[in-house]
Amino acid sequence: MDKVKEKLSVSLSVEDFLRRFFLVELREQNLDELISLSLNFSDKFKNHDFILWLNKCKDDLNLLDELRYEFNRLFVGPRHPKAEPYESVYFDYKTMFGEKTMQVRGFYESSGLKLSKEQFDKFPDDFIGYELQYLYFLSFNALQADEKEKMDEILHKKYDFIRTHPFEWFYKFSSRCKEATNLEAYVSFADFLNLYLENEIEQSRALLTLRVKG
């Protein structure tokens, strides 16, 4: 159980970091809080180039402004985003609110979650920030589970979600981000996201194996 919780704790901290990166505007007043989450990372995440880029922003607010501007250019607009952060865009004839959106919503609802009108007015269910928040939610609930059966159920659901959604499009999103960005920091960010996904797939399988053996 301790090994399982240790691995889940690392997942939780990285998912918390990634969801906040997309859900909270990158500004001086919240930069320290975002960076502080990396203190709970394993070494391969903690020492990643993208974390080093964020640390540079503490001493260079012009760089922070550049990162925020590039974030908006890549992922928000006002013109067409260069690397759309919505799953459906990478499938479903490259349009939003497609079949993938409904599939993701089904996962949320199976866990008792539903986007508020305010959230939905901003982004569809398959917005990357919401998918990362859902992964964070599953990791948190798995850590809180007192019974083996409940933890197993949550871990299986998390692995199923990763396999059928993030695994199917995060790499495509990262590739588009690398192609479109004007800043090396966002190349590092794309690599960081890929590292998280690779680690999570490997870790999910390992956690389920540990649970079976346990």
User: What is the secondary structure of 164-184 as a DSSP string?
Assistant: HTHHHHHHHHHHHHHHH-SSH
How far apart, in whole angstroms, are the C-alpha atoms of residue 48 and residue 199?
A: 14
Give the per-residue pLDDT at 117. Answer: 65
Q: In the chain, how many domains are there? A: 1
- CATH code at position 128: 1.10.3480.10
Lowest pLDDT segment from 2-11, 102-111, 138-147, 159-168 = 2-11
- Mean pLDDT of the region 180-197: 98
Q: Residue 43: give the domain boundaries.
A: 1-213
Check if the beta carbon of residue 160 is closer than 8 Å to that of residue 138: no
Q: How far apart are CA 70 and CA 76, in angstroms?
A: 9
Q: Quick one: three-class SS letters along 84-104?
A: CCEHHHHCHHHCCCCHHHHHH
State the DSSP H helix or E strand holding residue 73, giving kind and residue range, or none if neither.
Answer: helix 61-75
Cis (ω within 30 of 0) for the bond into 78? Answer: yes
Instruction: Record the pTM.
Output: 0.92
pLDDT in tens, 121-147: 678 999 999 999 999 999 999 999 988
